[in-house]
Amino acid sequence: MRLHYLQHVPFENPGSILFWAEDNDHEITSTQLYQNEPLPQHHEYDWLVIMGGPMNIYEEDLYPWLTAEKVFIREAIETGKVVIGLCLGGQLIADVIGGKVTQNPVKEIGWLPVRLSDQARLSPLFSFFPEQPVVFQWHGDTFSILPEEAQCIAESDACNHQAFIYKNRVFGFQYHLENTASIIESLVENCRAEMIPGAYVQLPEELLAHPEYIEQCNTWMRRFLTQLEQMDREGIL
């Protein structure tokens, strides 16, 4: 399987997704958009992973590559690729499928619980998650409106839409399951100014104090990807 990922800043890479792909001998390629690297042709990859980043989806004036990226993501979905978006990546997916991305009422930064829907936990893709997994959050915006074809599968007290599925092959997550300790350290180093005290914003020390959460989230991500690959291979997505 050929996995391609889109990266928006040097300090947010796919983390445990890369380890999973390497362990399974998958081909890995990337586009570093902040370096203005060219996007691939759609026949050159099978799965697309879209990473997070501190920019907003509507900041094309500051980040001109956002315009071409949105077209690319829309085409990837239309051609039937498996597409996984994380944080900003999930917001970009929501935007191109007809949803709306706006500022969330509050920022979420830190280790916080989400609630998976009963329907989601019946799916083999999510059946191994607890009802309220603790996940890593770092966002101010969110996909506040989703089109009818998109199924919201998770929520939290601070954010109504935490994850969604679109056409069985497209997955948008507001939160992060892929982050490693080094990625979290880099986020704190590069984005500390965003950590304005609030009800759902934790201190930098708390973000770095939970290796057990990192390990658990990485395990969930690996199990999700393994099940997704099996269902994709069997043609049942």
Measure the CA–CA gap between 224 and 135, rounded to whole angstroms: 14
DSSP H helices, 62-153, are: 65-78, 88-96, 118-122
Q: Is 75:101 a contact under the CB 8 Å cutoff?
A: no
The gap from C-alpha 112 to its chain's centroid, in whole angstroms, comes to 16
Measure the CA–CA gap between 148 and 98, rounded to whole angstroms: 9
Looking up tokens 């998109």, which residue turns up?
150
Task: Count Cα neighbours of 47 within 13 Å in the Cβ-side half-sphere.
Answer: 21
The gap from C-alpha 77 to its chain's centroid, in whole angstroms, comes to 15
Q: Tell me, what DSSP letter sits at residue 3?
A: E
Q: Write down the mean pLDDT value for the chain.
A: 97
Q: Is 90:109 a contact under the CB 8 Å cutoff?
A: no
The predicted structure's pLDDT at residue 172? 98
The gap from C-alpha 57 to its chain's centroid, in whole angstroms, comes to 14
Ordered mean pLDDT values, 10 residues apiece, the chain (237 residues): 98 98 98 98 98 96 97 98 98 98 97 96 96 97 96 97 97 98 97 94 95 98 98 93
For the stretch 181-199, pLDDT in tens is: 999 999 999 999 999 999 9
